[in-house]
Structure 1
Amino acid sequence: MAIAVSVFVAFQVASELLGWELEDTAENQLRADSRVLATTAERAGLAQVQLPPYPGSGRLVRVILPDGSIRTPAGQPALPPVSEHAGRVAQGASADLMESNDSDEDGYRIYTLRAGDGAVQVARVVDDSPINRFGLGMLLIGLLCMVGGALVGRTVARTGLAPIDRLTAAAVRVAHTRDLDADIPDEGGGEIRRLIQSINDMLAALRDSRRAQRLLAEDAAHELKTPLTSLRLNVELLIRLDRRGTLDSALPAESRTRLLKDLGAQVAELSTLAAELTDLARGDVSDESTEVLDLADVVVAAATRARSRVPDIEVALDVTSVWVSGRPAALERAVLNLIDNAGKWSPADQPVQVRLRAEGAAAVLEVDDAGPGIDAADVPRVFDRFYRADSARALPGSGLGLSIVQRVVDAHGGRATVARSARGGALLRVDLPAAAPPAPIARLTAGDDTAVR
């Protein structure tokens, strides 16, 4: 529609310009013919000048005598009466006059030029037929061009948008079937190809997410099965003995106390496992904002929590102030998991050593124990979900602690590694990008002009 309006406006402007050009050409021709006739009339006299006979078409001439009478060639059609303004030219009031006379039948353009004691007039019939024919021809050409352009444009558009149609159909099919394994054919070019590639990348990410979700659910079900079975058997045993009234006789006080401790330990293990599963399932989704913090404060807080949870763990701290950009609660959870893991292996008389220092542009955290260390075969899988070495299966835990450490470190742009410590145990090292410490805030104490940092 915009192209059609533009074409018609262009044709209208062209017609107007052509009309103005033809009108200007006709007026110039009238002036030239009038000058020739005026020169001849001045030589021969207005009353005696020989007027050529009317050829049947073209220009029309007329001589205005001083007394106001007129002379015209034989056989020439009658022109409109001499106007008042043309009479003034004949009387010498002005030199010339260009005027138009439009009637219901024929319209004339008349040029009056002073000649001797009178005036001469040359006229032509105003003919709009060339402009009308030009406008009609341009209209037909425009219609043909628009129809042809519409057909070509529709064909080009349908051809160019065919990949979009197939992309839409594929997206609808994926939405209905939930089948994320069907890649969309990479076709087209330019923006369309980039769009298809982006959607294929999105489908691949969704496939990976669904696969990770399924593996997490399967692993969680497997890990929950054993503690839940043990807890259910112990509870059923207590209920059965209580119903029979033989709880006191069948279970001595020592055995009952041991059983209740086992139940408490199993419930605690399930609670820890549920919390870790929730943490893993949430992934990087967290309402906690990132801030610039002193990692030493986080390490001290994590060590305090570790001592309160397991009083038998002795933690030796050697930390220096290192600033990083991160989420405090997530980092504290990661450090706490590292200390808990080391506390499982470190002998009672050997403390877990936690060291924090700045090394270049990184904050380096090391946690080591004096335990038996990690076998070389287990090192590549230490940070995998639910992975537990054979030697660790008898110890409490779910195999999720170090995987949570790995996720938190990755989210902060760091790196977690494992090696053997100088004491023969495991050395877990975390490297995080260091950040510039925040600028000190100056405040004024009431009644004092000195700024206190």
Structure 2
Amino acid sequence: MTVIAATAIAVSVFVAFQVASELLDWELRNTAEDQLRADSHFLAMNAERAGLAQVHLPPYPGSGRLVRVILPDGSTRTPVGQPALPPVSEHAGRVAQGASADLMESKDSDEDGHRIYTLRAGDGAVQVALVADDSPINRFGLGMLLIGLFCVVGGAVVGRTVARTGLAPVDRLTAAAVRVANTQDLDADIPDEGGGEIRRLIQAINDMLAALRDSRRAQRLLAEDAAHELKTPLTSLRLNIELLVRLDRRGTLETALSAESRTRLLNDLGAQVAELSTLAAELTDLARGDVSDETTELLDLADVVVAAAAQAHSRVPNIEVALDVTSVWVSGRPAALQRAVLNLIDNAGKWSPADQPVQVRLRAEGASAVLEVDDAGPGIAAADVPRVFDRFYRADSDRASPGSGLGLSIVQRVVHAHGGRAAVARSARGGALLRVDLPTAAATARRATGEDTAAC
């Protein structure tokens, strides 16, 4: 900015100097020519009264104007001691012969650069000349040079001062960003200062830091909750394995435990391993957040629901699912949506009595695809409804049942990522009713078109 300011001022001073020099030269030339005309008319009047050959020509004073009289025969008279003038030009000779009344000439080609005015007088002509004097322009140029240098230096100083003052918030912002990067301290907000673009930049960085703080806090909570949830199955698994190892080393495995007890113990070990595997998969899914390699595509949500119901039945054959679905097209990630629907069906199947199927309904309602999954179980207590979608949250009545408490949390994350919402209510059969609203493909397209139009 300092260089730009100095360069701009230098160019401005140069252009101003060129324009001012031309104007000054034009003014001086007009003034000199007017003086030459006035002096020539005065000399011509004297020459006509006294005659060209007798008119008095005072001795040259040493400086100033030069005069010359052109006689009818072409000869000339000049004052005593006056420097020689350039020879009479052909055009000036024609003025002396009466071809024209006057002539202004500029002898820029000679050494002194004379400006000569020729005026018809009697049978000849008179000439008054001035030696071109560039000293005023030279002095003016020197003055403009000094002023230009002063302006350039002053402009550079002012530009640097303004630049440093204007960019001081950026320097502080850079220092704060470097400090955050070095200390990893995301709690240190950058002071909101400056104005315009600088303030918006600081606010954007503070928003980014807030988002990073929330992300770090969520990761820490996830790690803490995961450690807590993993502790119980790992402890149970470790105790059962230690019991088997201890009995095997003593050689009393078959005598200490009956065949039925061993079978039950091995089944427990298998169930605990499966629970850990499920928990690890769900933790991985939650830790990834919204990051996915799966692309968004246009799909029929009814196909996703049918596929999820078939998968749930293959995993737990005793789950009976009653489907009532209609074709509703949405824009989304098929695998993520199927995982969410599968979690809803698994959750409902865990509570639904054996003789009561899980009812799954899908319909279009306005600009939304509405999915409802309900069971005939005991339902969700009013105190548990606000936290039913929280990670690892399990109601008191649910703590003894298998599960990680992550299924509904995954459902909510997938639904939110698709621009929808999930809610819980009481089913008409007395159990839990989980409802998911997703925007249809037409609604998503209209919203995207509206956002593009607003951006334009």
TM exceeds 0.5? yes
> Where does residue 240 of structure 1 map in the other structure?
246
Q: Per-residue deviation at 1:99?
A: 2.7
Number of matched residues? 438
Counterpart mapping for 1:71-86 below 5 A: 71-83=77-89, 86=92
State which of 158, 168, 189 in structure 2 corresponds to 1:162.
168
Q: State how far apart, in whole Å, the 2-side matches of 1:250 and 1:89 are.
A: 148
Identity of matched residues, %: 87
> Where does residue 131 of structure 1 map in the other structure?
137
SS in 2 for 1:436: helix
State whether residues 367 and 443 of structure 2, in contact with CA within 8 Å, keep that contact through their aligned partners in structure 1: no
State whether residues 303 and 336 of structure 1, in contact with CA within 8 Å, keep that contact through their aligned partners in structure 2: yes
Q: Per-residue deviation at 1:10?
A: 2.7
Q: State how far apart, in whole Å, the 1-side matches of 2:234 and 2:187 are.
A: 35
> Where does residue 221 of structure 2 map in the other structure?
215
Question: Bigger shift: 253-262 or 5-14?
Answer: 5-14
State whether residues 298 and 330 of structure 2, in contact with CA within 8 Å, keep that contact through their aligned partners in structure 1: yes
Deviations 1:146-165 (A, max 9, x none): 32333333333322222222
> Where does residue 327 of structure 2 map in the other structure?
321
> Where does residue 360 of structure 2 map in the other structure?
354
> Where does residue 447 of structure 1 map in the other structure?
none
**One-letter amino acid matched to 2:436:** V
State whether residues 367 and 442 of structure 2, in contact with CA within 8 Å, keep that contact through their aligned partners in structure 1: no
Would you tell me which structure has more helix in proportion to its own residues?
2
Q: Per-residue deviation at 1:321?
A: 1.1
Q: Per-residue deviation at 1:249?
A: 2.7
Q: State how far apart, in whole Å, the 2-side matches of 1:244 and 1:92 are.
A: 149
Matched, 1:311 2:317: yes
State whether residues 107 and 114 of structure 2, in contact with CA within 8 Å, keep that contact through their aligned partners in structure 1: yes
Q: State how far apart, in whole Å, the 2-side matches of 1:263 and 1:27 are.
A: 119
Deviations 1:292-311 (A, max 9, x none): 22111111111111111111
Matched, 1:344 2:339: no
Q: Per-residue deviation at 1:215?
A: 0.4
State whether residues 423 and 435 of structure 2, in contact with CA within 8 Å, keep that contact through their aligned partners in structure 1: yes
Q: State how far apart, in whole Å, the 2-side matches of 1:163 and 1:436 are.
A: 46
Counterpart mapping for 1:14-163 below 5 A: 14-31=20-37, 33-34=39-40, 37-38=43-44, 41=47, 45-51=51-57, 54=60, 57-83=63-89, 86-87=92-93, 89-90=95-96, 96=103, 98-101=105-108, 106-163=112-169
Q: State how far apart, in whole Å, the 1-side matches of 2:281 and 2:40 are.
A: 109
Q: State how far apart, in whole Å, the 1-side matches of 2:259 and 2:377 are.
A: 35
> Where does residue 7 of structure 2 map in the other structure?
2
Q: State how far apart, in whole Å, the 1-side matches of 2:205 and 2:246 are.
A: 59
Q: State how far apart, in whole Å, the 2-side matches of 1:31 and 1:319 are.
A: 110
Structure 1 unaligned spans of 5+: 440-453
Q: State how far apart, in whole Å, the 2-side matches of 1:436 and 1:161 are.
A: 48
Q: Per-residue deviation at 1:362?
A: 1.1
Taking a change above 3 Å as real, the CA distance of residues 437 and 5 of structure 1, as seen in their structure-2 partners, is closer
Counterpart mapping for 1:179-190 below 5 A: 179-190=185-196
Q: State how far apart, in whole Å, the 2-side matches of 1:326 and 1:40 are.
A: 109
**One-letter amino acid matched to 2:140:** F
State whether residues 323 and 437 of structure 1, in contact with CA within 8 Å, keep that contact through their aligned partners in structure 2: no
Deviations 1:306-342 (A, max 9, x none): 1111111000000111111211111111111000000
> Where does residue 433 of structure 2 map in the other structure?
427
> Where does residue 442 of structure 1 map in the other structure?
none
> Where does residue 375 of structure 1 map in the other structure?
381
Structure 2 unaligned spans of 5+: 1-5, 446-456
Matched, 1:410 2:404: no
> Where does residue 174 of structure 1 map in the other structure?
180
After TM superposition, the score normalised by the length of structure 1 is 0.89
State whether residues 331 and 444 of structure 2, in contact with CA within 8 Å, keep that contact through their aligned partners in structure 1: no
After TM superposition, the score normalised by the length of structure 2 is 0.89
Q: State how far apart, in whole Å, the 1-side matches of 2:108 and 2:352 are.
A: 118
Q: State how far apart, in whole Å, the 2-side matches of 1:244 and 1:39 are.
A: 151
**One-letter amino acid matched to 1:156:** V
Deviations 1:166-188 (A, max 9, x none): 22222121111111111122222
> Where does residue 295 of structure 2 map in the other structure?
289
Q: State how far apart, in whole Å, the 2-side matches of 1:354 and 1:42 are.
A: 128
Q: State how far apart, in whole Å, the 2-side matches of 1:438 and 1:83 are.
A: 92
Deviations 1:380-410 (A, max 9, x none): 0000000000111111110000001111111
Taking a change above 3 Å as real, the CA distance of residues 230 and 296 of structure 1, as seen in their structure-2 partners, is same
Counterpart mapping for 1:196-215 below 5 A: 196-215=202-221
